Amino acid sequence: MHPNTATATSPSASSSVASPTSAASTIQHPIVQAASGPAPASTASLPALADSDASVLDALSTLASGGDLRSLLVSSQIITRVVATVDALPRPSFGSSRILPLRTPKGAMQTQQANGVTVISASNADRYGPYMTVLESADPHALVAWYKRNYPLFQQAYQELGYPHGYFNDRLLGAIDDMLAAPEPHDPVAVIQVGSHYDFVDPQLQSLSSGQKLMVRLGSANEAQFKAKLRTIRTLLVGGQVAH
């Protein structure tokens, strides 16, 4: 996957692994169909991708005004990092966390012993609290409207990632669908420590995509909240109507 070759200064490095849309001749989800949302149309021209970080950070901070997004967001190459991460989510592994637009949660995964087995503790979900606060505060209508207006920057970053004929919005919808299909375990999830990280003991869980593994690690309540927001965003992206 692309993140295998990513560096701290250039998360846009490419790879020989092709995206489902890299050679597609037909766009499945044209950005023009996305719901425009309530945000007023701006007449200002878009910044160059290389110069977009300040405006993107300001816009996203406003869209997620209920959380401290600035402390979580990596403030350089934001759109490029978002695009590289979206491309990686349906894959088995990120390869490198240096492509991520958000800083990883503080501390190690919280575990406990249950019948002699190491499982993810219910308290581990608390590590994602700041991220879930940002997610909850973001208005999906305004977020999609902002994304639609700034789409040329996302498309440019996707092409520079190594997909000159790809269409980023199709990849985004694919990543969302993959995460929505993540399982929702009701029992504590058994894990085993491998070096500095944990793997799932269940081979079916361990074989999940990066995005689906993230959903499982969030904990059931956070996963349900995240999926609800993703469903709304997906509906808006394909032109559906969602009540405010």
Q: Which tens digits make up the pLDDT trace of 57-74?
A: 999 999 998 789 999 999
Mean pLDDT, to the nearest integer, of 31-58?
84
Alpha-carbon span 229 to 231, nearest angstrom? 5
Query: Is the per-residue pLDDT at 23 higher than 60?
Result: no
Supply the pLDDT for residue 128.
96
**Residue labelled with tokens 């440019």:** 156
The secondary structure of residue 109, as a DSSP letter, is P
Whole-model pTM over 0.75: yes
Helix (H) or strand (E) holding 201: none
Least confident of 19-33, 90-104, 133-147, 219-233: 19-33
Q: What is the pLDDT of residues 136-165, one digit of tens each?
A: 999 999 999 999 999 999 999 999 999 999
| pLDDT band of 11, cuts 50, 70, 90 | very low
Alpha-carbon span 169 to 58, nearest angstrom? 23
Q: Does 37 fall in a domain?
A: no
Tokens of 211: 């995005």
The number of helices, as runs of H, and strands, as runs of E, in the chain is: 10, 4
Q: What single letter denotes the amino acid at residue 203?
A: P
| pLDDT band of 1, cuts 50, 70, 90 | very low
Q: Does 215 fall in a domain?
A: yes
Q: What is the pLDDT of residues 98-131, one digit of tens each?
A: 899 999 998 899 999 999 999 999 999 999 999 9
Query: Is the per-residue pLDDT at 204 higher than 70?
Result: yes
Helix (H) or strand (E) holding 117: strand 117-120
**Residue labelled with tokens 């309530």:** 38
Q: Residue 87's CB: how many other CB atoms inside 10 A?
A: 29
Q: Does 174 fall in a domain?
A: yes
Q: Does 21 fall in a domain?
A: no
Question: What is the domain extent for residue 124?
Answer: 2-7+46-237
Q: Does 23 fall in a domain?
A: no
| pLDDT band of 36, cuts 50, 70, 90 | confident
C-beta separation of 140 from 237 below 8 A: no
More confident residue, 83 or 44: 83
Tokens of 177: 């669908």
Q: How many domains, the chain? A: 1
Q: Does 168 fall in a domain?
A: yes
